[in-house]
Structure 1
Amino acid sequence: MGEKKSNLIAQQALEIVLVAAVAIGLSSMFAPGLTQSAAQALLGQEATAAQKALLVAPAPVLAPALTACISGSSPVTPCLPRLRCTRDAAAPGA
């Protein structure tokens, strides 16, 4: 090859720049549509998974002793003391 080393390096650099410019141009044209469809697909999968989780998850069940305590039907079960709200006579607006 009778080409100078500087010409070969310049040609390689020019080819790299041109290929990069074409790649960036194509990606800027196709990226918005592709990312939008990918995002919709992923969100749809997440929504489906969340919906299935809600349908499969068991409803919370209160312990029988707590249920009896709340309903007041079990005097044997120790319950939390009930708080009483009293207004102070000296409070403004009383």
Structure 2
Amino acid sequence: MVLRTMEQDRIKEFKWMVQKVLNAKDIKKPPPFYFSLIMGEHIGHNCMVENGASNTVMPNAIAEKLGLQYEPTEKSVLQLDGIVMNTVGVIKNLE
């Protein structure tokens, strides 16, 4: 029960911080840019270039199609809409 309350408090705090950032008037960041990308024998449509993210999330199906290897993890990601998504792994040093 205590852990659940702490998790809910962290989610509320994160949502508050995100809202504060989204409402900031002095942030000048260009919108993301979408395009089609050829990756080996695969074509990915609506790929996004986002300059500024230190970490990026991709669907597991895409990672499998590209043959990417990842280190298993039990971390989760809190989306801006408040939904918590579980991750399956981390891809490090991708070039």
TM-score tier by shorter-chain length is: under 0.3
**What's the TM-score, normalizing by structure 2?**
0.27
Greater relative contact order structure (CA < 8 Å, 6+ sep) = 2
In proportion to residue count, which structure has more strand?
2
**What's the TM-score, normalizing by structure 1?**
0.27
In proportion to residue count, which structure has more helix?
1
